[in-house]
């Protein structure tokens, strides 16, 4: 063997060993890069999810007075929701005592709300709750399908199912608020008006009676005065006769 080829062979072997070592080290590096990219994707997705609006729909009682039902749409997320639509299936029936209120509310929300700010809640009246629960055998389930757009595009559609018959025998009194205080004040105001009207009527009656009494007294005085004059005239006539 040529002595000059030995260093060349050693160098080649070293190069091969370095290449093998680099190849072996490349796989963990590739795995680390893939893991980092996956982690970045997860973090990016989480960031987008936390920045998306959360739009919901519900049928709720009016807690100010406890009788009316409301169709409620709200945004509980941190960003603006746009093109908010709610489709109710089957449509909520309307009582004959309301002229299109229930239908108008469902049509409005089906056509869509242009934008819904974070924390914003919009309510539409659906009529009285006991009208919807009038039929004891009615176990209809209403599906409220919500669609909307967020800052990163369309949101996944959400579907909420509501069965009004579940509310039977539930408490429908309003929450603690000034509703009853306002009603009592309205009663007091009405009673005060009634008392004032009674006083006014009593004053008018008293004035009328006073006028009647005064007229009667004046008539009595006039009659007495006329009678006295008539008596005086009679006495004068008698004296005249005797004088003649």
> For the whole model, what pTM was predicted?
0.56
- Residue 103 tokens read as 């239908």
Host domain of residue 169: 55-173
If asked whether residues 111 and 152 sit together in one domain, one would say yes
Sequential pLDDT tens for the chain (244 residues): 555 565 565 555 556 666 666 656 666 666 666 766 666 666 666 666 678 899 999 998 887 776 788 999 999 999 999 999 999 999 988 877 767 788 888 999 999 999 999 999 999 988 877 777 777 788 889 999 999 999 988 999 999 999 988 887 776 666 655 666 777 788 878 888 887 777 677 777 766 666 666 666 677 777 777 666 666 655 555 455 445 4
CA distance 147 to 158: 7
Q: What is the CATH number of the domain that holds 103?
A: 2.60.40
If asked whether residues 79 and 66 sit together in one domain, one would say yes
| CA 45 to each of CA 50, 56, 146, 173: distance values in angstroms, whole numbers, following the listed order | 9, 21, 22, 44
If asked whether residues 207 and 236 sit together in one domain, one would say yes
- Residue 233 tokens read as 């005239």
User: Structural domain tally of the chain?
Assistant: 3
């Amino acid at each position: 063997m040529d002595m000059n080829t030995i260093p060349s062979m050693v160098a080649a072997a070293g190069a091969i060993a370095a290449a093998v070592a680099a190849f072996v080290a490349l796989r963990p590096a590739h795995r680390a890069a893939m893991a980092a990219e996956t982690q970045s994707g997860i973090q990016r997705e989480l960031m987008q999810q936390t920045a998306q609006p959360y739009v919901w729909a519900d049928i709720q009682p009016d807690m100010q007075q406890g009788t009316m039902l409301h169709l409620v749409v709200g945004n509980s997320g941190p960003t603006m929701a746009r093109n908010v639509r709610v489709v109710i299936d089957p449509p909520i029936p309307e009582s004959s005592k309301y002229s299109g209120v229930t239908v108008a509310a469902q049509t409005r929300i089906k056509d869509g709300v242009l934008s819904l700010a974070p924390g914003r809640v919009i309510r539409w009246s659906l009529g009285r709750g006991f009208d919807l629960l009038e039929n004891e055998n009615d176990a209809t389930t209403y599906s409220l399908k919500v669609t909307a757009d967020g800052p990163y595009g369309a949101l996944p559609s959400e579907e909420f199912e509501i069965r009004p018959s579940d509310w039977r025998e539930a408490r429908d009194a309003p929450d603690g608020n000034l509703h009853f205080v306002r009603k009592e004040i309205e009663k007091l105001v009405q009673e005060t008006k009634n008392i004032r009207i009674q006083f006014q009527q009593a004053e008018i009656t008293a004035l009328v009676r006073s006028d009647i009494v005064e007229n009667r007294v004046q008539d009595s005085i006039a009659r007495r005065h006329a009678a006295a004059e008539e008596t005086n005239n009679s006495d004068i006539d008698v004296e005249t006769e005797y004088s003649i």
